[in-house]
Amino acid sequence: MQKRVQDYRPTWTLKTTQKVTDNYYPINSAISIQDAKSKRRMTVMNDRSQGGTSIAPGTVELMQNREAPSDDCKGVGEPLQEKNEYGNGIRVKATYYVQICDGVNRLPVQRLAQHKINDQANYFFNFNSTFNKTELV
């Protein structure tokens, strides 16, 4: 998790004319907001990388799909409209997990939850009939 401050860059003075675009960041595993007084924190954990921000106080925004009705002159050279084989917008089956925590009396368990989301248990079985129990050391 990397702390981000709206309309601020630590190494240069940001002069922005695009408030939303300049405050969108890559969200690889989670995004959180924290109340300055009470230290209460809300964390939204995602199952895939996507863009995210918190433009208005107390809000979290995640970009599920991008669509631009006209060319944005950013290199694609055409409108960005992802469609399925029937001409409808694509659907992405995403899963989100929300955690609200006190922040003072109880620490967040976001890392523990994230490990369960990303590193699920893998089960392996050996159905080899020639397996001999005496070979175990």
Q: The whole model's pTM is what?
A: 0.69
pLDDT given at position 31: 92
Instruction: Report whether 33 contacts 60 (CB < 8 A).
Output: yes
pLDDT given at position 60: 93
Per-residue tokens: 96: 């989100």
- Per residue in 44-90, pLDDT tens? 998 888 999 998 888 999 988 777 777 777 777 777 777 888 988 88
Cα(64)–Cα(53) distance, integer angstroms: 12
Average pLDDT, the chain: 81
pLDDT given at position 52: 92
Cα(105)–Cα(102) distance, integer angstroms: 6
- Per residue in 95-104, pLDDT tens? 898 988 887 7
Could you tell me the CA-to-CA distances from 9 to 4, 28, 64 in Å, in that order?
A: 8, 20, 25
Cα(70)–Cα(80) distance, integer angstroms: 7
Cα(125)–Cα(22) distance, integer angstroms: 50
